[in-house]
């Protein structure tokens, strides 16, 4: 764990690391993100997005914005295959909560396909609760949970 750091994904750092970020999610079937998705402007995005580095390698990242006023809204949270099961996902959520405190926000919100049982279990283990079931254009054919973790 010695080389583990958290870096801000500000606009320049995001762009510099795009090949690695895109490569990380390349064989993951649930999202099909390219440059446009990583670089699109959203409120607060360059303050709330960050990555975990292990030396020069990115082990995990969180792309977030204030899409829902008063909350950090996580668009994509991802831990590299080789780094899973070692507390990296928890570190990402704890960092998002730390930023909620720093920016005086109420908590963290995200949507997760109900079918992604591992991720749902992970979020619930960390204290997220199901606040809605969403079946819309974004969820596609299978519904998503809207999961929420309030700071207090
Ligand atoms: C989901 C994901 C972020 C978890 O990351 P991780 O680094 O493997 O998780 P951690 O090792 O930090 O686990 C944190 C806690 O969650 C628990 N956990 C992990 N997976 C779990 C599961 N399927 N069910 C219940 N608890 C789980 C761990 O036991 C650990 O508990 P602890 O705090 O008591 O020790 C990672 O598997 C991933 O990136 N998956 C692919 C992308 C994805 O699905 N993203 C979410 C999209 S909405």
Is pTM beyond 0.85? Reply is: yes
Residue nearest to ligand 1 atom 14, measured at CA? 90
Helix (H, G, I), strand (E, B) or coil at 4: strand
Architecture of the domain defined by 4-150: 3-Layer(aba) Sandwich (3.40)
- Decide whether any atom of ligand 1 lies within 6 Å of the 107 Cβ: no
Instruction: Please tell me the predicted confidence (pLDDT) of residue 141.
Output: 83
Mean pLDDT, residues 68-79 taken together: 98
* Distance of CA 87 from the midpoint of ligand 1 (Å): 8
pLDDT, one tens digit per residue, over 116-130 is 999 999 999 999 999
pLDDT, one tens digit per residue, over 12-64 is 999 999 999 999 999 999 899 999 999 999 999 999 999 999 999 999 999 99
User: Residue by residue, what is the 3-state secondary structure of 73-119?
Assistant: EEEEEEECHHHCCCCHHHHHHHHHHHHHHHCCCCEEEEEEECCCHHH
Instruction: Please tell me the predicted confidence (pLDDT) of residue 1.
Output: 62
Dist. CA 73–CA 71, nearest whole Å = 6
For the cut 90, the answer to whether the pLDDT of residue 115 exceeds it is yes
Mean pLDDT, residues 135-152 taken together: 91
Q: Which sequence spans correspond to the domains of the chain? A: 4-150
Instruction: Please tell me the predicted confidence (pLDDT) of residue 152.
Output: 78
Who's near 136: CB < 8 A, 6+ residues apart?
none
Mean pLDDT, residues 79-89 taken together: 97
Q: Which residues pair with 148 in a beta bridge?
A: 109, 129
Residues 125/109/17/117 CA torsion (nearest 10 deg): 40
Instruction: Please tell me the predicted confidence (pLDDT) of residue 57.
Output: 95
- Decide whether any atom of ligand 1 lies within 6 Å of the 82 Cβ: no
């Amino acid at each position: 764990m010695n080389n583990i750091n958290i870096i801000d994904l500000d606009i320049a750092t995001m762009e510099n690391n795009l090949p690695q970020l895109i490569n990380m999610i390349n064989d993951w079937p649930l999202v099909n993100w390219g440059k446009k998705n990583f670089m699109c402007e959203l409120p607060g995005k360059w303050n709330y997005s960050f990555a975990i580095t292990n030396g020069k390698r990115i082990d995990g990242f969180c792309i977030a914005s204030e899409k829902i006023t008063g909350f950090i809204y996580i668009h994509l949270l991802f831990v590299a295959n080789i780094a899973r099961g070692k507390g990296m996902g928890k570190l990402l959520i704890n960092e998002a909560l730390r930023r909620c405190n720093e920016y005086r926000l109420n908590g963290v919100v995200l949507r997760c396909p109900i079918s992604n049982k591992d991720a749902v279990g992970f979020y619930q283990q960390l204290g997220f609760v199901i606040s809605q079931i969403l079946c819309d254009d974004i969820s596609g054919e299978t519904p998503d949970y809207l999961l929420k973790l309030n700071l207090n």
